[in-house]
Amino acid sequence: MAGVARFLDPPRLRTATAERYEERHATWLELFVDLVFVVAIAELGTTFAHHVDLGGFLRYLGLFVPVWWAWAGFAFYATRFDTDDLVYRALALLGMFCVAALATTVPSAFEGRGNGFALAYAAIRVVIVLLYVRAWRHVREARALAGWFIAMFGIAIVFWLVSLAVPSPGKYVLWAVALAFELAAPPRAWRLIRHAPIHPAHIPERFGLLTIIVLGEAVLAVVIGTVDVNWSVLSGTTAFAGFVAAAAIWWIYFEFFDTSVASSSVARGMTFVYAHYFVAAGIAALGVGVRVAIISAAPGNAYAHSGWVAAAGAGLYMFALGVIQLVTPPTVFDVDVLLRFATAALALVLVALTNVLSPILVLWIVAAALVAQVVVELFSHEEHRPEPAMSI
């Protein structure tokens, strides 16, 4: 037992106060977790690409919620309690296996056969509950927080499992109820431990890492999804427009987007967290839109009126950034926020004109709007934004 004990390091409460003088960065295991989740996001995008209609888009957005929220569950736990010992690694790796299994069930969930998806997601939540049980046992000052998450996630697991015996569409109603319990848990949980704020930079770093990995996945999905395309000048320039749009998205997020959120407001921190669902979902949808536009450049009517996909993805992304910046101190409706919402409004207009404009033209307009935003902000900011920081 003494030999095993040296691999065990019980959870401890990781706070901004305790770690004031040490760097707090994502671990290699956290990065590994991110990559596995992005596999599930990639599968969502690929499946959506085969169901490019309103129903497919709604299913994509709906299934994106549990995938993204499962990732957030691991991120929140690691931010508070991670000690990277043998037990934590074993449970995290088990959770990653469940995420990989979840990814394989996305196509069937899209088509109304969701038992595999529900079972895999319930298994992911069981892993998270076990982690919080361990935190409840070893971290006395965080028992209220850990107990709250155990209760809320435990209730959600029951709904996920009950859904296995319920046919569609009732199955999806139970999924929505389960997710409602999960999504409602963090605001109260954070208020239960306000005396111990998390490290101010770790959560923004985690969300930033997920954002850039999803952005990379969107580019990769375009490459893989168009491997059989007969390339021409038109398809090549369309691909270039997609890459320009992706580069502008990266530039805006990491150069001009200030992720500072005041520690005095749980509401601001939660807005930052929840709005990132639309950031990630928007980027992945834009990747699908680029793929659709490239394929539409080939002869035939494939995806002829699907330009709305790229526009909707860009619109979700820019609207979310605008909302986050509105709650970021100092809360001012400045030129940055105006540009975010103006681009989102333009995207909405492009969605409405999808039967008039070709997907290629829509993509070029989106790319031009994003690049224009980068140019305006380059000349309107005398210096770069401060380093991301957030404390809840």
Domain ranges for the chain, please list them. Answer: 27-191, 202-380
- More confident site: 19 or 99: 99
In this prediction, residue 329 has a pLDDT band, given cuts at 50, 70 and 90, of low
Give yes or no for residue 383 having a pLDDT over 70.
no
pLDDT on residue 116: 95
pLDDT on residue 263: 47
Give yes or no for residue 378 having a pLDDT over 90.
no
In terms of C-beta density within 10 A (0-12 exposed, 13-18 middle, 19 or more buried), how is residue 167 classed?
Answer: exposed
The residues pairing with 261 across neighbouring beta strands, listed in sequence order, are 390
Give yes or no for residue 20 having a pLDDT over 60.
no
Nearest to 284 by CA among 81, 116, 42: 42
Give yes or no for residue 384 having a pLDDT over 50.
no
Mean pLDDT lowest for which of 16-20, 252-256, 340-344, 371-375? 16-20
Give the span between the Cα atoms of 242 and 250, in whole angstroms: 13
Give yes or no for residue 54 having a pLDDT over 80.
yes
Helix ranges (H only) for 82-142 are: 86-104, 106-110, 115-138
- Alpha carbon of residue 144 to chain centroid: 27
In this prediction, residue 389 has a pLDDT band, given cuts at 50, 70 and 90, of very low
Give yes or no for residue 240 having a pLDDT over 80.
yes
Give yes or no for residue 372 having a pLDDT over 90.
yes
pLDDT on residue 193: 73
pLDDT on residue 198: 67
Nearest to 63 by CA among 103, 30, 32, 92: 103
Kindly report, residue by residue over 165-196, the tens digit of the pLDDT: 999 889 999 999 999 999 999 888 877 776 66
The mean of the pLDDT values for the chain is 86
Give yes or no for residue 381 having a pLDDT over 90.
no
Give yes or no for residue 301 having a pLDDT over 90.
no
- More confident site: 25 or 20: 25
Please name the helix (run of DSSP H) or strand (run of DSSP E) that holds residue 5, with its range, or none: helix 2-5
Mean pLDDT lowest for which of 128-132, 264-268, 336-340? 264-268
Kindly report, residue by residue over 108-153, the tens digit of the pLDDT: 998 888 899 999 999 999 999 999 999 999 888 888 899 999 999 9
What's the distance, Cα to Cα, between the start and end of the chain in Å? Answer: 39
pLDDT on residue 16: 53
Give yes or no for residue 339 having a pLDDT over 80.
yes
pLDDT on residue 303: 78
pLDDT on residue 151: 96
Give the span between the Cα atoms of 342 and 352, in whole angstroms: 16
Which CB contacts under 8 angstroms, 24+ apart, belong to 100-108?
100/36, 100/39, 100/40, 102/40, 102/67, 102/70, 103/39, 103/40, 103/42, 103/43, 104/43, 106/40, 106/43, 106/44, 106/47, 106/63, 107/43, 107/47
